[in-house]
Amino acid sequence: MLDSLGSWTSTPWVYLVVGMSVLLDVFVPILPSGVLVVAASATAAGTRTAAGAVGAAAVHGGLLEMGSLTLCAATASVLGDLAAYRVAWRGGDRFDRAISHSRRLSAAQERLGSALTRGGGGLVVLARFAPAGRSVVSLGAGVAHRAAREFLPWSALAGLAWAAYSVCLGYFGGRLLGASWFSTALSVLALFGAGSAAVYLMRRPTRTGP
């Protein structure tokens, strides 16, 4: 099964599947886009290692795979954020009500809303790692009619940071431990760990003066 998955990750289809998953999970936060990115990069790296790829050509091929997958995931992340932002901008109150109907989005909005207001752009990056944080930020920016120039640069940085972290986790896990479910599971756990850390940092109260 891992051999089949490894063959699949070497085809252009992996970029389409990863891109669509990352793009759409801003609207459907339960989509496992992060897990998919990690699994694809881990399997590709592990398969390359198992095949005995060594030398400069192997390094170049690995960097090309990492770069392509990172660019695909980051671009899809920004496009999804922009789509959610524009739809929420036009929907306004309807999207506010839609968020209130989702317990997960409502909880995330309550948890992250004040932190985003206090922390500004830097917390947009942290929110990209937090469960449902991306949805809350993108939809919230649209509902609040924030200027695109204030939101999109941070969205791009957040998408790139998240994509690079996810791909590196999977790739180096696959290179070190080979194409196995164990290496993929460890990488996914590290991804979830980053999400938990992001939530913790965003929930910390802001210190005021002495």
Name the pTM for this structure. Answer: 0.78
Mark residue 15 as left, alpha or beta (left: phi above 0; alpha: psi -120 to 50; beta: remaining). alpha
For 140-166, the pLDDT digits (tens) are: 788 777 778 878 888 999 999 999 999
* Residue 125: predicted pLDDT: 87
Query: Count H helices, E strands: the chain?
Result: 10, 0
* Ranges of the chain whose pLDDT falls below 70: 1-11, 46-62, 92-96, 98-99, 102, 104-120, 177-181, 183, 204-210
| Selection from 4, 79, 68, 83 nearest residue 37 by Cα | 68
Using DSSP, state whether 209 is helix, strand or coil: coil
Residues for the chain: how many in total? 210
Q: Which residues, other chains included, contact 33 with Cβ-Cβ below 8 Å and sequence gap of 6+?
A: 18, 21, 22, 24, 25, 73
